[in-house]
């Protein structure tokens, strides 16, 4: 599914989305120069009064295409490739969606590439959450956020008498070359993305001994090929970080070396060390170092090869945490997006390749 904003309308899964950005505006944005973040531009930006949502909340940006809430045991995964967002004009308009605090944090960041990635992360969160509101009730700019006592961000909804906010959970992750946001309903989610070509300053095994469980170190030690060992390390790291973020208690409450990622091979019906070098369908589970016999079954994982350049891990709590449903695939829908310009549904294509975990792409 591809959405390209054209002259007045577009088609998404058979229905017409009206009053979108005029073709000439899109052409202007697409011809923008390569991004060069100018810090003084942020410092000169005037504060915009936050108001109730209007159908065209900005004279320059169109309404977001609405999306239905994820269903039970479904994850929506949105990502942006920063290198594909080249219009300086569009990036400037993105900046206007940020809160004063977000603008200030961005202003003090060092490095144009890092600033651009951070800007896109905040914009992706705001625009993604705004898509799920019925009747276009939420302006992405008006969204407010708060943090739990452990530092996990969540939406600070303003409850009204006539509207009850959806029970959305979200999580974000970004590198300089990919920005992602995962969304679920009713259950916590954690995601992580890492570049496949990421290089470590320290030796793999020395780093693993410091942060991973003894069983995971043993698994990596058994891999003789340095490149395969590096790739397996990154996959493990990505899964472990997604789990910690889903639990939402912070790294100090759930250090990486206090749990082990394992895979239950469905075909054989037994538990094995995490290993992505075999093609058998497997369910990823978590084993506590304090209680090795306890394989936590109330978390669902997916490990993906994303856009051919990144590993992406998703961890979500099962709807029925009291034992959960055995071997039920995670329902996954993935979109590649440039907010307000283009949305492309890429789940089930070569851009999203499952590596491990029980996954049903929609």
For residue 19, what is the DSSP state? S
pLDDT (tens digit per residue) in 16-73: 232 333 333 333 333 344 344 334 444 334 333 333 333 344 456 888 888 999 998 8
Query: Is there a contact between 265 and 258 (Cβ–Cβ < 8 Å)?
Result: no
- In terms of average pLDDT, the best of 23-37, 204-218, 256-270 is 204-218
Distances (CA, A) of 60 to 22, 94, 104, 355: 10, 11, 23, 41
At residue 160 the predicted structure's pLDDT band, cuts being 50, 70 and 90, is low
282 vs 120 pLDDT, higher one: 120
Q: 50-54, 124-128, 239-243, 352-356: which range is least confident on average?
A: 50-54
Q: What does 146-205 look like in DSSP terms, one character per residue?
A: EE-TT--EEE-----SS-----EEEEEEE-SS-EEEEEEESS-EEEEEEETT---SS-HH
**CB proximity list for 334: less than 8 A, separation 6 or greater:** 76, 77, 78, 79, 306, 345, 346, 347, 351, 352, 361
Q: 25-29, 37-41, 146-150, 325-329: which range is least confident on average?
A: 25-29
Residue 102 confidence (pLDDT) above 50: yes
Give per-residue burial for 82-107: e unless 16+ CB within 10 Å, then b: beebbbbebbbbbbebbbeebbeebb
Q: 141-150, 217-226, 258-267, 301-310: which range is least confident on average?
A: 258-267
Query: Is there a contact between 181 and 336 (Cβ–Cβ < 8 Å)?
Result: no
The pLDDT of residue 161: 61
pLDDT (tens digit per residue) in 74-97: 999 999 999 999 999 999 999 999
The pLDDT of residue 152: 87
Residue 285 confidence (pLDDT) above 90: no
**pTM tops 0.75, yes or no:** yes
Q: 122-136, 162-176, 316-330: which range is least confident on average?
A: 316-330
Mean per-residue pLDDT, 246-268: 78
Residue 151 confidence (pLDDT) above 80: yes
CA distance linking residue 278 with residue 282, whole number of Å: 10
Residue 272 confidence (pLDDT) above 70: no
At residue 282 the predicted structure's pLDDT band, cuts being 50, 70 and 90, is confident
Q: How far does CA 189 lie from the centroid of its chain?
A: 10
Mean per-residue pLDDT, 115-133: 94
Query: Is there a contact between 356 and 98 (Cβ–Cβ < 8 Å)?
Result: no
- For 33, counting Cβ atoms within 10 Å of its Cβ (0-12 exposed, 13-18 middle, 19+ buried), the class is exposed
Closest CA to 250 of 145, 147, 148, 151: 151
Closest CA to 303 of 248, 261, 338: 261
User: Could you report how far apart the first and last alpha carbons of the chain are, in Å?
Assistant: 11
At residue 304 the predicted structure's pLDDT band, cuts being 50, 70 and 90, is very high
Residue 273 confidence (pLDDT) above 60: no
Average pLDDT, the chain: 79
CB count within 10 Å of CB 328 equals 16
- For 278, counting Cβ atoms within 10 Å of its Cβ (0-12 exposed, 13-18 middle, 19+ buried), the class is exposed
Virtual torsion, Cα 77, 230, 267, 190, nearest 10 deg: -30
The encoded tokens of residue 347 equal: 């789940």
Q: Which residue has the tokens 């590649």?
A: 336
Q: 129-138, 175-184, 240-249: which range is least confident on average?
A: 129-138
The pLDDT of residue 280: 56
Give per-residue burial for 229-254: e unless 16+ CB within 10 Å, then b: bbbbbbbbbbbbbbbbbbbbeeeeeb
For residue 239, what is the DSSP state? H
For residue 220, what is the DSSP state? H
At residue 185 the predicted structure's pLDDT band, cuts being 50, 70 and 90, is very high
Residue 229 confidence (pLDDT) above 90: yes
For residue 280, what is the DSSP state? S
The pLDDT of residue 14: 31
- For 173, counting Cβ atoms within 10 Å of its Cβ (0-12 exposed, 13-18 middle, 19+ buried), the class is buried
Mean per-residue pLDDT, 144-167: 80
Domain annotation for the chain: domains and CATH numbers: 74-84+169-267+279-361 (3.90.470.20)
282 vs 277 pLDDT, higher one: 282
CA distance linking residue 76 with residue 78, whole number of Å: 7
């Amino acid at each position: 599914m591809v959405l390209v904003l054209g002259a007045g309308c577009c088609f998404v899964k058979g229905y017409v989305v009206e009053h979108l950005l005029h073709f000439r505006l899109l052409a202007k944005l697409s011809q923008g120069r390569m991004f060069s973040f100018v810090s003084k531009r942020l410092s000169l930006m005037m504060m915009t009064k936050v108001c109730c949502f209007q159908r065209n909340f900005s004279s320059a940006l169109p309404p977001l295409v609405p999306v239905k809430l994820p269903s039970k045991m479904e994850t929506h995964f949105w990502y942006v490739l920063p290198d594909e967002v080249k219009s300086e004009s569009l990036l400037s308009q993105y900046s206007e969606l940020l809160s004063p605090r977000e603008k200030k944090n961005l202003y003090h960041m060092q490095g144009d590439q890092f600033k651009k990635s951070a800007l896109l992360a905040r914009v992706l969160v705001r625009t993604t959450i705004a898509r799920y509101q019925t009747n276009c009730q939420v302006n992405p700019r008006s969204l407010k956020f708060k943090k739990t006592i452990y530092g996990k961000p969540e939406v600070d909804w303003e409850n009204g008498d006539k509207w009850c906010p959806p029970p959305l959970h979200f999580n974000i992750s970004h590198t300089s070359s990919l920005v992602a946001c995962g969304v679920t309903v009713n259950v916590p989610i954690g995601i992580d993305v890492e570049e496949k070509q990421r290089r470590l300053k320290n030796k793999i095994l020395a780093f693993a001994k410091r942060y991973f469980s003894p069983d995971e170190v043993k698994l990596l030690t058994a891999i003789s090929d340095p490149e395969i060992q590096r790739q397996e390390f990154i996959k493990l790291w990505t899964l472990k970080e997604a789990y910690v973020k889903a639990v939402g208690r912070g790294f100090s409450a759930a250090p990486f070396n206090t749990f082990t990622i394992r895979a239950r091979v469905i075909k054989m019906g037994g538990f094995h060390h995490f290993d992505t070098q075999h093609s058998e369908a497997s369910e990823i589970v978590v084993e506590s170092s304090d209680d090795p016999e306890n394989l936590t079954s109330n978390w669902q994982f997916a490990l993906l090869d994303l856009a051919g350049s990144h590993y992406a891990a998703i961890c979500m709590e099962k709807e029925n945490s009291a034992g959960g449903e055995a071997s039920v695939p995670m329902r996954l829908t993935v979109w590649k997006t440039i907010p307000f310009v283009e949305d492309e549904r890429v789940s089930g294509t070569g851009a999203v390749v499952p590596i491990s975990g029980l996954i049903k792409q929609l």
